[in-house]
Structure 1
Amino acid sequence: MGTPGTPPEWAARLREKRKAKVGTVADMARRLKEAAGEQRGRLPSIDDLTRTIRGWERGDHYPSERYRLLYARALRTTEAELFDLAERPSVPVPALPLPSVAPDADLFERIARSVQQPSRVDQRTVDWLAICLAEHRKVEDTIGARPLLGIVRSQLGVVVELAQHARGSLADTVVDLAAQYAQFVAWMSLDVDDQAAALAWYDRAHDWALEIGDVNMATTTLSMKAHQAWSAGNARRCVRLADAARRHDGQVTPGVRGMAAQMAARGHALAGDARPARTLLDEAEALIRQAAEHADDEPVWMYFYDETWFRLQRGMTELQLGNWSKAIDLLTDGLSGLPESYKRDRAWYGSCLAKAHAEAGDAAAAVQVSLPIMADAVALNRHARKELIDVAALITNRRSPQGGLLEEALAAADRRNG
C-alpha cells in the first residue's frame, strides 16, 4: 500500500493506464461497459461508474473480481499486470493464463459459485471446463506433461466434485467430462513415468465411461492401457487389451476403432509378428480414412488422430519390425506434416527416425536428425531421450566418431535442462 496521502501502486497504475490508453474517466467508464458485453446492463450508469473509478484511482477502495476482470479486458492486459498479486483473489479453478479460457465477469462469478456450492453447477460452467480441458490438451502438445499435470489434476478434482452434485441431464454431461479429464491425467502421468497413477486414472475413466454408456471413451481407455503395456515392453498385454477394445460394438466411431487396431498392430510388432501387425495396420488405415470423411463425428479427444499421425505410427511399427528403409520413408513423410507446435511428438518421432537411420548404417543422417530435436527430447519426452541415448550407443558401438558427437550433445542438453 502507499504512504499516507499517496495512492497505492495499483491505484496509480489504473490512473496511468487509463490516461495513456483511454482518455477521460468517463471514457474509462464507457470502456468498462463495452468490456462487459451482454452484461453491460448490470453495471451502474456512466455517471455512477465514473465516480467509482475516481475512487479506485485514489485508492479509496479495491475493485471487486468483476471489475478487475473488466479492467484487464478493457485495457487489453492481464489482471496480474494491473493489480498487486498479493491482493488478487484466488482463482476458483486453477488454469494456465490462456486468452481462450479467460471467463467474462458473469462467467467468473458462475464458476466461483459452482466451486463454492457444487449443487448450483450450471451448463455454462461445464461448457467452460470443457473448453479449459481442450485448450490444456493443445498446450500439452507443446510444453509436455510436467508443467501441466498439477494444474489439470486440480481441475479434475473440481469436475469430480461437481459430478457428485449435478442433477438431471447435466449429471451425465459432467461425468462425461470427468472421464475425459481422467483419461488426460492418465496420459500425462504415464508421460512422467508415474505408472501406478496412469493405470488408476485409466481405470477410473473407463468406469465413468461405462456408467454413462460412452463406448468411445471406454474403448479409448482400453487402447491407452494397451499403449501403456507397449511402453513397458509387454507385447502380450498390449495385444490383449487392444483386442478387447476392438470388440466393442458398432457404436464406436471409425477413428476410435482405428486407434484400437493400430495398438494391436504395435503389440504384434513388439512380439516380432510381422504378418498380423501389417494386416491390422491396413485395417486401421481404412478406418482412419472413414474417420476423415466424418471428422465431426469423432470424439473431441481424437483431435490429433489423422493420416499424418497414422503414417508416423506405421513408420514406428516398421522400425520395430526391422524394415529400416520403409520406416525412414514413413517417418520422414509423417514428420513433414506434423505441426511445429507438436514439440513433444516431433521429438519422439524424430528420435525414431534417427534410430532407423542408425540401424540402416547411416550415422551422419542419424546425427543430423537428432541434433535439432535434442533439447525438446530432453525437456519434454523421456521416451525420445532414451531413444536418442540408444542411437548414440548404437553408433558408438559401430566405431563411428558421430557417436561421440551425439553423446556430447545429449550431455549438454541434460545440463541445460538441469
Structure 2
Amino acid sequence: MAVYQPLHQHSHKQSSRYGSVSLGLRTVLAWLLSALLGLALLHLLRCSQCGARERAMVSPLLQYVTSTYSQAVSTYSCDYSEGQWVQAPGHARRYNGTECNVKGSENCIRNGRPDTGYLDWRWQPSPAGCHLPSFDAASFLAAVRGKHVAFLGDSMARNQAESLVCLLGASFPYRMVYQDPEPGTRKFWRWAFPSHNVTVSVYWAPFLARATGKSENYSEPYSSVYLDALAERWSADADAMDVAVVSTGHWFWNPSVYYNGSVVLGTHRLSDLNHTEIGFFSPYREAIRMTIRRLVSSAGRARPRTVVVATFSPAHFEKEWDDPATCARRLPYREGEREVDAMHAELRNIVREETAAARIDGGRGATVEVLDVTKLAAMRPDGHPGVYMKRDPFARGVPERLQSDCLHFCLPGPVDTFNEILLQLLTKRR
C-alpha cells in the first residue's frame, strides 16, 4: 500500500543537505561582507590624518557597509523557532476582538478576564542581532496584493486566520464575503480587503485528509479518516490559493480509524475494534505529505505560490479539562522552565522533514516554508482563554467543575506572533 508508509529513508539526509546548502550561502555572504567591512575600517584608520573632506567621504561608506552587513546577515540567519518571551508593555494590544468578530470563546477581554498582562510580551529570537518586527498590516497586504491567502486545518488554523483578519482590519477596511449559515459554526469563512484586492479564507479540515464521523459531528465516538484522499472543500479550491497556510495536529490524538480506500490500515485509541494500533505519527506524516504534494502540484501556473506549514502548537491542560484551575498561570514560562517534550518535538520534526523534502524535490515552482511555532507556543500557558471562554464564569461563585480552553489563544494574544513570523516568511529576501 503506497499511501501509508513510514518515514522516507532519505528524509534525514535530505534535511541535512538542505541545511548545509543554506548554511554555506550564509557563510559565504557573511565572509564577503566581513571582508568589505574590514577594508572600510582599515581605510578609515589609515585616514586618521586625512582632512575633513576625505573623512566625510569614508564615513558614509562605512555606515552603508555596516548597515548592509547587519541587515543581510540577520535576513539569512534569523531563526524565529528558538528564543524567549520578553516584557514589552502594550505590544499585543493592537485590536479589539469584539470589533473584528473573533470566536466568542476566544474573546477573553469581553468575557471578563481580569488580568491583561498576557498582552505585554513579545517574542525575542535567540540568534544574536535577530529581532522579530511587530506586525505591519500595510507590509502584509502589499506582499499579498491581489492574492488569496488560505488557512487549512483545524481550529488552530482558524485561530491564526482570525488573528490575521483582526491585525489587518485594525488598519484597513474589510468585509465578510462568506460565513457558515449555522450559528456558531466556523468551518468555512472568507474575508476580503478591497484596498489591496486580498482575500483571506479559512477551511475546516482537521485531518487535512477526507474524514467523517466525530470531526464532522462531535456526538460521534470517533473519526474515520481516508489517507488516500484529501478533504474535498479545500482541495477543490487549492488551485486558486496563492498563499496556503497549513496548521493541524490535535485531532490526530483523538480516537480514529484510518483507511486506504475501503481497507482499514489501523486505529488509534480504539482497541475494542480489534484492529492494529498505528498511533498518530504516521497518519500525521502522510496527511502533511499528501497536502504539500497537492499544493505544489499546481504551482506551475502563471504566478508563484507559497506553501507555509505550521508546526504543532501544544496545549496546556495541567489538570482535568473541567478543573477551573487547569490553566490558571498568568506568566509565560522562562527559558529552561518548560522544554518541548518528545511527542511534540516529533510532530515538529515531521513538518520540518516533509517541507525539506519538498524543497529538495524542487517544489515544482512553489516556495515551501516552515512556520515553526512549537517552542514559542509551548512557553505561553498564560495566553489561553481558560475559564474565560465563557462570559463572567465566576458571576455566581466558583463552581467545582468548569470547562476550560487551554488550547486556543485569546484574541488578541500570543497567536498574533504566528502572523508576525508569517509576514517575515512572505517578505524575506531570497
TM-score scaled by structure 1? 0.29
Greater fraction helix? 1
Larger radius of gyration: 1
- Higher RCO (Cα < 8 Å, 6 or more apart): 2
